[in-house]
Amino acid sequence: MVRSFAQWTKTLSFPARLSPQKQQSTIPQPANAIKSNPVNNNNNNVIITDSSDNQNHMTLTPDISDSEKDIMGSVVYCIHHKEGCKWNDQLRKLKGHLNTCKYDTTPCTNKCGAQIPRVLMEDHLKYTCPERMARCEFCAQDLNGAALEAHVGSCPMEPLYCENKCGMKLHRRQLSKHKAVECTKRLVPCRYCSQSFLADTLQAHHTKCARAPVPCPHRCELAIVPREELDSHLKDHCASLLTPCVFKEAGCRFKGLRGSAMERHLEECSQQHLVLMCSLVTKQQHQIASLKSAISRLSLNHS
Q: How confident is the model at residue 128 (pLDDT cuts 50, 70, 90)?
A: confident
Could you say which DSSP state residue 181 is in? Answer: I
Segment holding 277, helix H or strand E: helix 270-302
Q: Angle, to 10 degrees, between the axis of helix 270-302 and the axis of helix 260-268?
A: 70
pTM over 0.85: no
Exposed e or buried b per residue across 81-104, where buried means at least 16 C-beta atoms within 10 angstroms of its C-beta: eeeebebeeebeebeebbeebebb
**Phi, psi angle pair for 241, to nearest 5°:** -85, 125
Distance CA 295, CA 298 (A): 5
Distance CA 192, CA 219 (A): 21
pLDDT in tens, 46-64: 433 444 444 444 444 445 5
Distance CA 182, CA 185 (A): 9
pLDDT in tens, 205-249: 999 999 999 988 887 777 788 999 888 888 887 877 788 888 888
Residue 143 has pLDDT above 90, yes or no: no
Count of all residues that appear for the chain in the document:
303
For 129, counting Cβ atoms within 10 Å of its Cβ (0-12 exposed, 13-18 middle, 19+ buried), the class is buried
Query: What pLDDT was estimated at residue 162?
Result: 94
Higher pLDDT, 201 or 77: 201
Distance CA 221, CA 234 (A): 12
